[in-house]
Structure 1
């Protein structure tokens, strides 16, 4: 009887741990919120600037597939609203795109004219969080200069993607739960 009870408890805890592990994965971002992926009433630049995107997150594009698509393009093609050389193309009307690498990611509607009137999305995907113990990178060391003139400014792309991510993110929470899950599972195997 004790063996059956311990197997039931073990199985229940294993299921519970697995469910918690799945529940704290990356963030799912519904593009355009309630407006979805459309040319009507959505400002995707503003939408993106209010969020932080990390590797492990995903984007959900919901749209009418008879009138729109989702075309992933290079930065240059994004600026030109050019869809003839897509990196990827989605046409189901409900597409989930996993963010698997850091850097700029560019999406447009490939229907002629839609990108030109604002149906385009550029996001900056940050690396997955290393957890709460990650130390910040030190500032670069500047060598002394004899000139009093200002340093030359290098033209760099401007990214206005909103606030920096909070130190406690879904990815760090996921790491904590994964560690906790492993600990609990190990304890039950040993018992």
Structure 2
């Protein structure tokens, strides 16, 4: 007859085999307490983070004051604003990082990107 200790060991081994450890996704509040706004060095903010597939970027800002576009590298560099229908505008936009590689984000309000450098480029790890 199996003892309780043996049953616990067997269950622990089964748990390790059947349910491998997974890393928990991280939600990153862009700009931390400052949020998505003017006057923040978002590259300096991003440099202290390691972004991975499955993580989320959370853009917090007063609705109607800013917006968020996920763009390509050229649009990021040149602050090319996509059509308004592509904008995230809720003031609490959660954007999932679904694939490895570069990801670029800009604010499309007025000259916030071009004049005030309200943009973010990150490298997403697999």
TM over 0.5: yes
CA distances 1:12-36 after superposition (whole Å, capped 9, x unpaired): xxxxxxxxxxxx6211100000000
- 3-state SS of paired residue (1:105): strand
More divergent stretch after superposition (65-74 vs 86-95)? 86-95
Cα RMSD for the two superposed structures: 1.7
Instruction: Return the offset for 1:105.
Output: 0.5
TM-score by length of 2: 0.76
Q: Residues 85 and 43 of structure 1: is their aligned pair in 2 closer, same or farther, counting only changes over 3 Å? A: same
- Structure 1: segments with no counterpart, 5+ residues: 1-23, 128-191
Describe the shift of the 1:125–1:88 C-alpha distance in structure 2 as closer, same or farther (beyond 3 A): farther
- DSSP-derived class of the 1:69 partner: coil
Runs of 4+ in 1 over 3 A off after TM superposition: 85-88
Alpha-carbon deviations, 1:98-153, whole Å to 9, x = none? Answer: 111011100000012101211100000010xxxxxxxxxxxxxxxxxxxxxxxxxx
Query: 1:106 and 1:86 mapped to 2: Cα distance?
Result: 17
2:94 is matched with 96
Which structure has greater strand proportion? 2
Aligned length: 103
Decide which structure has the larger Cα Rg and report it: 1
Structure 2: gaps spanning 5 or more residues: 1-22
- Corresponding residue to 1:46 among 44, 47, 61: 44
TM-score when normalising by structure 1: 0.51
Evaluate the alpha carbon distance shift between residue 54 and residue 87 of structure 1 in structure 2; reply closer, same or farther with a 3 A threshold. Answer: farther
